[in-house]
Structure 1
Amino acid sequence: MAPMVGKMGMIYRRFKPHILMVLIHVGYTIMYLITDAAFSHGMNPHIFVTYRHVLGGLVMFPFAYFLERKVRPKMTLALFFEIFLLSLVGVSLTLNMYFASLEYTSPTFGTSMINVVASLTFVIAVALRLEGLDVRNARGIAKVLGTLISLAGVMTMTLYKGPEVQTWKGAPIHLNRSNSVHENWIKGPILAGASCISWSLWYIRQAFTLKKYPAQLSLTAWINLIGGAQSAAFTVLIQHKPAAWSIAFNNIDFWSIVYAVIKEWSCMLRYNNLHSIMVH
């Protein structure tokens, strides 16, 4: 028994980065299914983005304040403005467009579009000469092939229309579309594509901000709170029904927000774990 446990431990340590990446994508997939059910239930996607990030920022703030007291640099007006723009790109634009696209497409399409973000980030970084590309070695060829395969996979998921899969009658969450949700395979993919481009630019810009503000928890808390405030201001302009902001504690709307916050925390920890693995 002991040799078997030791062998399993060796396999886990060897494939730990791959396992963590799979778990991250599983978490994203579950979130898209739950949020799609919440949108079908009538929840406004912009209100979802607002609540998600305000709650996430409030939960993260005390941890960031106490754990990063010694490493957090002083906040300046220029740095705050940079974080404000980072929040605008990463939360207000990216996520409001992305979750709005789920109203017109499907969770399957939304999940597949996430895979484009890494490819777009690579393409934009190469175009801006922030990353080198040498197609004469295996590493450069692998990057190009990975980018092309990722884009081909998303195009296949977008264009292929197979048989409809029915929801199990006894399932606790049903993804049947309501009358207020309409598929639009022009508006939906445009919103999703624009959000992925914005998402990629956010990743690139965030790398520069972290050099000036090397406190990941604090930066994440700031982005959540500022992005939530920006999203709230935008939502107030387009949503004039105060009742839409009311969230019951016993339905899918509330639990979709809670799960999104938990998922963000777990993904952040896994990304940090992955970063430490790659560094060492």
Structure 2
Amino acid sequence: MNYLMTKIMEQKSASYVSHLFMVLVQLGYTLLYFVTEASLNHGMSPHVYVTYRNLVAAVVMFPFAYFLERNERPKLTFCLFMEIFVLSLLGISVPLNMYFASLNYTNPTFLASMVNTIASLSFIIAVALRFEVVDLRNPRGVAKVLGTVISLAGVLIMSLYKGPVMRNLWRPLIHIPGKSAANNESWLKGSVLTVSSCIMWSVWFIMQAATLKRYPAQLSLTTWMGFVGAAQSAVYTVIVEHNSSAWSLGLNIDLWSTIYGGVVASGLIVYLQLWCTEKEGPVFVTMFNPLCTILVAALAYFIFGEKLYLGSIIGALIVTIGLYLLLWGKENDQKLCMKTKEKSQCGGEDPECTI
């Protein structure tokens, strides 16, 4: 019994740390949106940005991964490297290129809102792959299905309905040189790019959980994905970016956004997400996304004077409601799973737990 209580206390302590890490992750992402938008508006190619950002992340994380995980890092086989290659393709090079390219057609508030759909999309993919079991005979299963449907309805509203612009209450406190207002066609194009990137990230989060079981070295995995993702993005950028001057960086916002994106977003944040994914699971990592949406919307409207559209606000609220319905069902599933494991360790029956 003492052993069981000790394990429960350790799990609670790790849970508190996971919550703190995920709050820090969302704060880091919030600043990333505006730094990146300023850089892209300045004229930096989003594809060059993604390439440099991941290269910076890999270089910064390499010494930590090499020295701190030298005794924990499993041998890198060819099959494992190919798995990392696919992970980098699905979670680093392709979706990041699409995601930041869509910033040219939309705005930070829209992008931050759309990220909330990753939990619902991950749930759908997990059910399709039979990683997740849905029982419509209990409220938990109904909540997960209903939350997913509501979230996707919010996505459709944000993508197809732009709506009127909300009037700013005062002049922006911090001015970011802006781009011309996007028309409906550009908005739809940006929506398609954003949704596509979110679908790929949903697959990526599920794959991460499986890869970490075979390669439980978060720093090393982060470093490898940085190097491989940068190489993949570089190949793509060479094909689509024919202006050689796009690769040059001066002492301006382009350089600072690349350093911030590499060190914080593609380095520290990816490592913290991997750590939390291993401890709490992929759904836990996505449940904090609404915090970033709220922070981005508040800063965009009150500080940076960004345009807020009624469709984005309505859609974001609907997506958030659906997300927390889904997470309520998921959380109760995890509590039930924990109780069955406790009964099993106390000598009771060992019921099957499929969570």
Interval of TM-score (by shorter of Structure 1 and Structure 2): 0.7 to 0.9
User: In the alignment, what sits opposite 1:192?
Assistant: 194
Cα distance in 1 for partners of 2:205, 2:17 equals 23
Residues 67, 22 of structure 1: CA spacing in aligned structure 2 closer, same or farther, 3 A cutoff?
A: closer
- Please name the residue that 2:244 is paired with: 242
CA distance in 2, matches of 1:187, 1:35: 19
- 2:138 maps to 137
- How far apart are the structure 2 equivalents of 1:234 and 1:51? 13
The DSSP-based 3-state class of the residue aligned with 1:185 is helix
* Structure 2 SS opposite 1:225: helix
Kept in 2: contact 1:40–1:178 (CA 8 A): no
Query: Is the Cα–Cα contact under 8 Å of residues 222 and 271 in structure 2 kept in the other structure?
Result: no
Deviation (angstroms), 1:162? 3.0
In the other structure, the counterpart of 2:87 is: 86
Q: Which residue of 2 aligns with 1:56?
A: 57
Q: Give the distance between the partners of 1:24 and 1:175, measured in 2 at CA.
A: 26
Q: Which string of whole-angstrom CA distances, capped at 9 and with x for unpartnered residues, describes residues 218-268 of structure 1?
A: 01100010100110111011112221111112x221221222231344434
| TM-score, length of structure 1 as denominator length | 0.83
In the TM superposition, residue 154 of structure 1 has moved relative to its aligned partner by 3.2
SS in 2 for 1:142: helix
Report how many residues are paired.
266
**Aligned residue for 1:155?**
156
Structure 1 residue 107 and structure 2 residue 108: aligned?
A: yes
Deviation at 1:89, TM superposition (A): 1.7
Task: Please report the TM-score for the alignment, with normalisation by the length of structure 2.
Answer: 0.67
226, 229, 235: which one pairs with 1:227?
A: 229
Deviation at 1:269, TM superposition (A): 5.5
Amino acid at match of 1:39: L
Matched-pair identity in %: 50
Partners of 1:96 and 1:74 lie apart in 2 by 31
**Between 18-27 and 194-203, the greater mean CA deviation after superposition:** 18-27
What do residues 162-216 of structure 1 show as CA deviations (whole Å, max 9, x unaligned)? Answer: 3255584551x4151159x877022211111111111111222222222221111
Distance in 1 (CA, whole Å) between partners of 2:207 and 2:277 is: 18
- In the alignment, residue 273 of structure 2 is paired with which amino acid? Y
Specify every segment of 5 or more residues in structure 2 that has no aligned partner in the other structure, as ranges.
1-13, 282-337, 339-355
TM-align CA RMSD:
2.9
Distance 2:44 2:240 in 1: 14
Opposite residue 198 of structure 1, the aligned amino acid is M
Which amino acid is the alignment partner of residue 52 of structure 2?
Y
Matched, 1:204 2:216: no
Whether the aligned pair in 1 keeps the contact of 2:93 and 2:232 (CA below 8 Å) is yes
Cα distance in structure 2, aligned partners of 1:202 and 1:54: 20
